[in-house]
Amino acid sequence: MTHPTTASTIRWEQDDDGVVTLVLDDPDQSANTMNAAFIDSLDAIADRVEAERDAIRGIIVTSAKKTFFAGGDLNDLIQVGPGQAQEIYDKNLRIKRALRRIETLGKPVVAAINGAALGGGLEIALACHHRIALDAPGARIGFPEVTLGLLPGSGGVARTVRLLGVTDALLKWLLQGTRYSPLRAQEAGLVDDVVTTREELLTRARAFIAAHPESAQPWDDKDYRIPGGTPAQPKFAVNLPAFPANLRKQLNGAPYPAQRNILAAAVEGSQVDFETAQIIEARYFTELVVGQTAKNMIQAFFFDLQAVNSGANRPQGIEPSQVRKVAVLGAGMMGAGIAFACAKAGIEVVLKDVSVEAAAKGKAYSEELLAKALAKGRTTEAKRDQLLARITPTADPRDLEGCDAVIEAVFEDPALKHKVFQEIEGIVAPDALLCSNTSTLPITLLAEGVQRADDFIGLHFFSPVDKMPLVEIIKGEHTGDKALARAFDLVRQIGKTPIVVNDSRGFFTSRVIGHFLNEGVAMVGEGIDPASVEQAAAQAGYPAKVLSLMDELTLTLPRKIREETRRATVEAGGEWRPHPADAVIDRMVEEFGRPGRSGGAGFYDYDETTGKRTGLWPGLREHFAPGGSGGSGGAGGSGGSGGAAREGTRIPLEDMKERMLFCEAIDTVRLLEEGVLTSVADANIGSILGIGFPGWTGGVLQYINGYEGGVAGFVARARQLEAAYGERFAPPALLVEKAERGERFTD
Ligand code: NAD
């Protein structure tokens, strides 16, 4: 017999054996979150378990929803103002106190995790003495807080550190935001037991209660030592003074505020008792919640990502579609990756190149990826064989019969692209979706080579395709809504995130990343120490350093794109404005014979045998320092002139960082003005997931919104940069208008 009592979002069910099941079940929402109603309920539950302690044998915490518990209420968190720090701190301590009262009741408490337990959900589970997880499809367990600019503030840091030791807690759980399957969560140490049915979940929870009548948390034993401790450092697992520095190295550059605060909360909290650790955690949590970075990241990684993936940009009223068999034309780097991604999603792939050998080489790429996955236990032999059986390499166009989609990835040459489409258009299904993976060529131009321009669309994947989550969909002038909807569905079918843009040379991503690269190169041309330029990119939060990325892409590519763009601009009657980087790139290629990594030399030197980077080319300082040999050293900047010969130009680090961030943000606003971009969410998500715009900004337009002083503050700073470094920083009209009206960039 059960005696149900409600405490609004937590249901109390008690059986005749004295086992209380606390059922998390918010009546107003599809998922449980740490909203105000939940906090009130938790307090009420803590009061009741204490009052009825003697009648309770044990407690099971589970949920009536599909997920166990979804975490903090992001709608609330994104609105918190800087004046609310005390309120946030007090609320945080209230949650901590209530969980602690249940945890220290002296009765066994078991988390029966029936679905996803992310963030706050995992924290509730960690406040229990034993965690059993149901291996349900899609159930994920982890701390995504760091990806939202936050830290697990409801005891998550303090408890994970105590369970696993500082190093494992930070690297496996707190700093990466990894979402584990229940089995992997068990391997990584935060889940004790995994079951496959709901009944078993509850049976095992009861069995634990029966076997541990006086269960308590290990850290409440006065002799408990944090794992990894040594006799010399009884409470600490790692070399404390060196730890933050090592971690900084591991994170490749400057940690974001959330990473910094998580690190500090973990390290400081490991040196003190549990209650103090919780207070330290509350302070660091509050600092993040009231700060701007968390708002940026919640906006991008929660709200914008949801809008983009849920199809805010997919034309309405068109039936959902699925691709069954895809033709991939060109089995080079991109074609091979696209074939893998499609086959992984269960789509039959015909991979065509000029010879069967070339096509088979493309398929061999999938074999390599799968061999690695198998070695790491990420796939099984059976799954590997099934996936490989879906890829048919060929050189014969007739094998493409029946394909309901085509993705072309041959060389970046419009005539060749026209030719390969002509060759196959009559063979594939009569209504097949026709996609090109061009990274720069206008889709409308490529569509001239096909009969059905309304079914032709750009599908711009990023390299390496298996890792990069974004696909930029480009609508040509004649692309129909149906093709757009089908392209959107195909991208979702293969599990990637689609953004949608209108046609233009370089679209959104290729055009904007070009500004970042050019800005780094321009600084070298001004005589700024190239090592500082690389450091500035890392400090700004870019995942790749600017000159090393330029070398990877090769210096010949921007020259080719520049020439084509120049010709098209002039032909269209526009004014062509050279960039200060142009002269540097030209000299690198023509004068010094350094075309980038694939040519064995670029901004960096490379080892002749291994091909590995050995260091920045010393000639950069010599040839590009003000007064150095020839060329246009100093172009584009007031800081570039007047320096002593071979003595590098110095400009503030902040200027270097902001020159990179601003040039990308400013051109994104121009793309909105030109109608290439039509959605703020697409711009934010595309910039982070596609071209490495730093995640802490919340994306390229959120960076403007969140800049100190808002859009007006951004405009004022752009004008300063314009005066110091050139007219490319002049704020476009749309930006100035927004600033004057006090508006932000929103959809
Ligand atoms: P790649 O040189 O690695 O591969 C091109 C392949 O096309 C080669 O295998 C070649 O044999 C094949 N090919 C040539 N003629 C063909 C024909 N008539 N029929 C079938 N196959 C033919 O090039 P890639 O880097 O894979 O780039 C392919 C396309 O993807 C280009 O349009 C490029 O701009 C675009 N792209 C590249 C990247 C990148 O990072 N490399 C990123 C996004 C998009």
Supply the DSSP symbol for 301: I
Please state the atom number of ligand 1 nearest to the C-alpha of residue 420: 18
| Residue 439 beta carbon below 6 angstroms from any ligand 1 atom | yes
* Predicted-complex ipTM score: 0.98
187 CA to middle of ligand 1, Å? 41
User: What pLDDT is stored for residue 245 in this prediction?
Assistant: 67
CA atoms within 13 A on the CB side of 229: 16
User: What pLDDT is stored for residue 690 in this prediction?
Assistant: 96
User: What pLDDT is stored for residue 256 in this prediction?
Assistant: 81
| 447-487 tens-digit pLDDT | 999 999 999 999 999 999 999 999 999 999 999 999 999 99
DSSP H or E segment with residue 446: helix 443-447
| Residue 408 beta carbon below 6 angstroms from any ligand 1 atom | no
Rg (CA), the chain: 29
Residue nearest atom 20 of ligand 1, based on CA coordinates: 353
Give the separation between CA 45 and CA 103, rounded to whole angstroms. Answer: 12
For a ligand 1 pocket test, name from 328, 423, 439 the mutation site with the most ligand atoms within 8 angstroms of its C-beta. 439
| Residue 468 beta carbon below 6 angstroms from any ligand 1 atom | no
User: What pLDDT is stored for residue 638 in this prediction?
Assistant: 39
User: What pLDDT is stored for residue 227 in this prediction?
Assistant: 85
Of the candidates 505, 508, 509, 500, which has an alpha carbon nearest to the alpha carbon of residue 479? 500
Give yes or no for a cis peptide into 213 (omega within 30° of 0).
no
Q: What are phi and psi of 92, to 5 degrees?
A: -60, -45
| Residue 358 beta carbon below 6 angstroms from any ligand 1 atom | yes
For a ligand 1 pocket test, name from 329, 351, 352, 353 the mutation site with the most ligand atoms within 8 angstroms of its C-beta. 353
pTM of the shown model: 0.89
Residue nearest atom 36 of ligand 1, based on CA coordinates: 439
460 CA to middle of ligand 1, Å? 12
With beta carbons less than 8 A apart as the criterion, state whether 565 and 621 touch. Answer: no
CA 445 to chain CA centroid, Å, is 32
| Residue 334 beta carbon below 6 angstroms from any ligand 1 atom | yes
| 242-287 tens-digit pLDDT | 666 666 666 655 568 898 899 999 989 988 999 999 999 999 999 9
| 41-95 tens-digit pLDDT | 999 999 999 999 999 999 999 999 999 998 888 988 999 988 999 999 999 999 9
User: What pLDDT is stored for residue 647 in this prediction?
Assistant: 64
415 CA to middle of ligand 1, Å? 13
| Residue 335 beta carbon below 6 angstroms from any ligand 1 atom | yes
User: What pLDDT is stored for residue 8 in this prediction?
Assistant: 86
270 CA to middle of ligand 1, Å? 52
User: What pLDDT is stored for residue 636 in this prediction?
Assistant: 41
Strands 325-329 and 130-134 come out as unpaired
User: What pLDDT is stored for residue 243 in this prediction?
Assistant: 65
Instruction: Please give the structure tokens belonging to residue 63.
Output: 């949920």
Average pLDDT per consecutive 10 residues, the chain (747 residues; last block may be shorter): 59 96 94 92 97 97 95 89 94 97 97 96 98 94 95 97 91 91 95 97 98 94 78 47 64 74 92 95 97 94 94 93 98 98 98 98 98 93 98 97 98 95 96 96 95 97 96 98 98 98 94 97 96 94 94 92 90 92 97 96 96 95 74 41 55 97 98 97 97 95 96 98 97 98 96
User: What pLDDT is stored for residue 223 in this prediction?
Assistant: 85
DSSP H or E segment with residue 615: strand 613-616
DSSP H or E segment with residue 642: none
Q: Which residues contact 395 (CB under 8 A, 6 or more apart)?
A: 352, 353, 354, 355, 356, 358, 359
Q: Which residues contact 629 (CB under 8 A, 6 or more apart)?
A: 622, 623
User: What pLDDT is stored for residue 176 in this prediction?
Assistant: 85
With beta carbons less than 8 A apart as the criterion, state whether 293 and 150 touch. Answer: no
| Residue 461 beta carbon below 6 angstroms from any ligand 1 atom | yes
| Residue 667 beta carbon below 6 angstroms from any ligand 1 atom | no
420 CA to middle of ligand 1, Å? 12
Helix ranges restricted to H, 591-634: 619-624
DSSP H or E segment with residue 359: helix 356-375
Residues involved in catalysis? 123, 145
User: What pLDDT is stored for residue 81 in this prediction?
Assistant: 87
418 CA to middle of ligand 1, Å? 14
